Structure 1
């Protein structure tokens, strides 16, 4: 008990010192702590395990569908080799707990890339420290740079050359500058070239690749900035770009898109027909909605007015076999079967809401794995029935506090869309801390 209280007091002292960091810098004072201050402290799991938490991305091994990687918005990276029966945390020893995306090299799934810093724009999102790479299937990772990007939109790996990688660097949310734009490497991340840069206020939210021609790429630029008092979610620099030379050069492709300022734009290419490119556009004056290009982005037409929020969603995915079937991440999962003209809510009566990621089985397109604010769900029946994986302890806490109960104090916290929870710091029960 004394050890636990000592740890809490040490951490409280550190956090208080952190809050004074800016003041101390101005006064020229030396900070009273560094990494060695907490190096001997260790954490222990105290729960809760009542539910899971916000999932940012899911990657499934293309040759073994029992192996998944699950990226948590503020809970690290998790891996299962037995179809979700058990999960292991594989990113606890690295520099960021906020994971934006995870991508496996199509030509060698043992090569795993991870982008850190959640790729959403709400006040609660945490920043990261660049991109990481694993060459052993996730057993170990190395930071490959782009540390000042703070938020990674997504990562695209060349289908036949694992050393060629494109990164959508979103850039800092609360400030200008940082590493923003499209970054490309041809040597596995040893060196990077920024091939698309818009401005110090505008980053790249997403990159999409032509599944038949890796020289053709699309990029979504998003001008955004969050302040303590407001959020600027768009501007004249938000638009779409296209490259036909593997990302060396880019040109704007906006014919048919809204002429006024846009916000976040999600983009996806149909795997079954790369002529079909979809964009979900955040805009005003009745111009927000789903846009379709049938000529690889050269011109666009508005299909319908369905749109989501650029703070948390604004991402679309296309059915691997049906170019007219579109999925939209939103508070409630939606899909369209008429190329985005109309959308219907999809199987939300028996699962947690707030959806951020979906994997669609290319061999059975009624089989999905969905990541939401409640964790991971799986269906084999086009969302008629869901299986919930409750064994991912990644619930996101906004605030925590303790009381003075004896013999064991209680821990309480408010969570992200999962209510408030509380429980003991320790117990004499032989089964450990229980959930109820």
Structure 2
């Protein structure tokens, strides 16, 4: 009996998580943009015979196709099991598409993949042809003489070691693969370049790198260049200590561009430190001056010079030379504190003077190398060289090369001199380049802001951003009608726009795009004052926030700093903020401690000790708060979660705190902690193990303030969880966002239904519910924003025991224009009323439109699915019904321009029935 019960439970789980049997399979999401700022491009593949036809792969936004030079794009990976792209390669002759899934970059938001996908029908269907544990793909090369022979550079896991790295080759179209180059478990292959003259000659760049939540090490002695002369079957390392190319522990990411068999360019991220004499000389006092300075020497410093140091380094305005010296004199602080004040983990990374970007060239097939330029390419990479690494050469002119980093640079003399070719409408972070060998100056550039095209070598650029592929971290909504949606995006700032947005180019006639930018950088969390929707709190990475008035454009910076002498605050990349539901003047902000402002962010108090494990040494801030939630039932009843797995609670505004996560899985990222809006003692927590390459779903609920926990995620598939939200109308309904899908539960998480119509397989970072509109709004990290009306879902627990239930028949406003058009060149105006209903079993149903007296005016036979269904009725009736009913009632119903007859004003009845039951609801036309 137990086995039968278990099997039945497993069957229910499978049915709910299967798209075809989910109760909400017909509840559709609609994309509401935006698109103008786009998202990160990882690769471009252009038809060499027709350059107006090309494919674009977005890091987490899927694969898109254009045959009109980027005027419009069509998504072709909607049916793919992931939208996470690393590299693409197109066999243009046969139309075969190869996708290496898992982004080739190694940033905080680089999502892993599931191997190699292949399509032979332009993306209608996809087949996974192997390397499923590769996680991140650097490059795919198709042999132009044999399209079944493919070489793949595999970078491998981002956060943990693994063996599926290096170079793999197939000679049978992906049926089998051979690992032809393996270096070690931390070293993969980021780039491969094939000679345009000979498909047997290939060059590959290995990259030793590993990321942790607290540190990124993007260089190592195993980063090098390899060469193959037999189409990638065997490889030889060609960078050695004596041939001119740098070697050793400081070798970072390398990009390659082969001009022919012998000439090859390499762009190196050189992480070796500059010599002391070559480091930039700072004027005045320097941070390191204070590290070993005595008290006496400090007190002898010139006040003017000390004040200059304090202002240049953005010390809080309350600190001046005089009061700092007073604190030093009294022993409250030490001189070294003026250095420590500036040193969070990220400061060390950004201010280390590494050599940076360098370009090397070989004229003899890699036997010897020479740096092409003198001095440093300052400003090309800063210290984020791991994020870039693209170089391209015009295959008709070996001296014309391009390199991409923060700027996009061109050299006309083989890399001896460079000039910037980025313009005001081109994003600053460059990830992919295609150079037309047949048309001088024609370049397609893929960057963090989408696609740009130039025909004059970068003097002027076209912006080609029609796909909605924004990478949102966080979204929120206001209470306007119609409401606005706000959100922060990876590398594209903070934007807001109308919830009724529809993609259209009509805005170009006025120059007024519906979404507006209100902040730059990497856009993060947003809070809106519910008393005045013009007051918005938002900002960028590592806790640099602002209060902004949309009406007056006033802006106030918000970045609380620690007291001089204390340990610097640690701010997460996505620093959490929260306006108190009890008083919208009160703003909470999470560092490693919880900070509270009582005056709209003007000043802050610390209301906790360190609520994390204490951090770890590294170049990424860690041991930081990630989530804040205040109970709507009690002011000062607050939960916080951290990136190192702690959940803490205070019930007295921070006077005392208690850790409540000891019985949860340890060491995971707390992606959300949510105080229930229905029960005082209920709290939800989601944990995310992605940064440990742990993809299991962790979802928990407590009914006693975290004293005990219940796992409500055991039936979910292996996708990390980013967000959970309660339905405001029904405490039993929960919504969940994972790294690949959305889900809904109608029984507090006991069972989950896949909620996916209209959504591609994309990471969902945030969910928010607009209560009045009854909309669930989803912020995706790769496909911008979606919304779905959940009014029907909120009725589930009152109708699910009925055979048929009509949920809603919206009223319709009558128009004499129904069925007509302004002219023959415009579409006919057709009314539509969407009837939502629920049925207990799949099958055939009859939908009748009845007059108020019960006379049948129109009838439809439909196939309905178990669960929620929608029927779009165009408010028309047959000519026979006009004669049968309306003429007898002396009601004039005229034939419309399109030959249809439409219901006049009045009250009607919608009836849905089958052999087991019936349901009726009024239809009002006014």
In structure 2, do the counterparts of structure 1 residues 338 and 35 end up closer, same or farther at CA, with 3 Å as the change threshold? farther
Counterpart residue number, 1:398: 473
Instruction: Name the residue aligned to 2:103.
Output: 118
Aligned to 1:415: 489
Aligned partner of 1:253 in structure 2 is 238
- Partner of 2:180 in structure 1? 195
SS at 1:311 equivalent: helix
1:101-122, Cα deviation, whole Å (9 max, x unpaired): 221126x251221111111111
Aligned partner (choices 365, 372, 390) of residue 296 of structure 1:
365
Query: Structure 2 unaligned runs (5+)?
Result: 1-9, 20-24, 275-354, 508-512, 517-926
Q: Could you say which residue in structure 2 is the equivalent of 1:19?
A: none
Cα deviation, residue 43, structure 1: 2.7
* Residue number among 464, 484, 489 corresponding to 1:389 in the alignment: 464
Q: Is the 8 A contact 2:79 2:126 kept in 1?
A: no
Residues 20-48 of structure 1, C-alpha deviation per residue, up to 9 Å, x if partnerless? xxxxxxxxxx9x96794373254320112
2:218 to 233, 237, 241: 233
1:435 offset after TM fit, Å?
Answer: 3.8
Q: Deviation at 1:367? A: 1.0
Moved over 6 A (4+): 32-35, 430-433
2:279 is equivalent to residue 279 of structure 1: no
- For 2:413, what is the secondary structure of its paired residue? coil
Aligned counterpart, 2:254: 265
Give the whole-Å Cα distance in 2 for the aligned partners of 1:274 and 1:344: 27
Q: Which has the larger radius of gyration?
A: 2
Partner of residue 68 from structure 1, selected from 54, 75, 80: 54
Does the 8 A contact of 1:333 with 1:348 survive in 2? no
Alignment TM-score, normalising by the size of structure 1: 0.85
Q: Which residue of 2 aligns with 1:37?
A: 17
CA deviation map 1:257-308 (0-9, x unaligned): 11322111111101xx431111111221456511111101112122234363
Shift of 1:226: 0.4
Q: Which residue number in structure 1 is paired with residue 209 of structure 2? A: 224
Distance in 2, matches of 1:33 and 1:303, equals 61
Tell me, yes or no, if structure 1 residue 356 matches structure 2 residue 431: yes
Cα deviation code 1:3-32 (max 9, x no counterpart): xxxxxxxxxxxxxxxxxxxxxxxxxxx9x9
Q: Aligned match of 2:441 in 357, 361, 366?
A: 366
State how far apart, in whole Å, the 2-side matches of 1:427 and 1:418 are. 19
Contact 1:105 / 1:158 at 8 angstroms: preserved in 2?
no
Specify the SS of the correspondent of 1:163.
strand
Aligned pairs (5 A) from 1:424-435: 424-426=498-500, 434-435=514-515
- For structure 1, list consecutive stretches of 5 or more residues without a partner in the other structure: 1-29
Mapped to 1, the partners of 2:16 and 2:76 lie a distance apart of: 23
CA distance in 1 between partners of 2:156 and 2:488 (Å)? 28
Alignment of 1:19-38 (within 5 A): 36-37=16-17
Counterparts of 1:350 and 1:131, CA distance in 2: 34
- Secondary structure of the structure 1 residue equivalent to 2:269: strand
Q: 1:121–1:310: 8 Å Cα contact kept in structure 2? A: no
Query: Whole-Å Cα distance in 1 between the matches of residues 248 and 178 of structure 2?
Result: 31
- What's the CA shift for 1:199? 0.7
Who is 1:86 aligned against? Answer: 72
The answer to whether the 8 A contact 2:59-2:85 is kept is yes
Superposed displacement of residue 174, structure 1: 1.0
What's 1:161 paired with?
146
CA contact (8 A) 1:61 1:109 kept: no
1:57 matched residue in structure 2: 43
The answer (yes or no) to whether the contact 1:278–1:292 under 8 Å persists in 2 is yes
| 1:409–1:317 distance in 2 versus 1, CA, 3 Å | same
Distance (whole Å) between structure 2 residues aligned to residue 267 and residue 92 of structure 1: 31
**How far apart are the structure 2 equivalents of 1:279 and 1:354?**
19
Partners of 2:28 and 2:205 in 1: how far apart? 41
Q: Secondary structure at the match of 1:175?
A: coil
Any idea what the Cα deviations from partners look like across 1:154-195, whole Å, max 9, x if unmatched? Answer: 100001110000000110111110521100000000110000
Alignment partners' CA distance in 2, 1:350 and 1:421: 17
Query: 160-169 vs 83-92, which deviates more?
Result: 83-92
Structure 2 CA distance for aligned equivalents of residues 396 and 363 of structure 1: 35
Instruction: Call closer, same or farther: CA 1:361–1:35 in 2, change over 3 Å.
Output: farther
Deviations 1:229-265 (CA, angstroms, capped at 9, x unpaired)? 0101111111111122222222211132113221111
CA RMSD of aligned residues (A): 2.5
Change over 3 Å in CA distance of 1:207–1:50 after alignment to 2:
closer
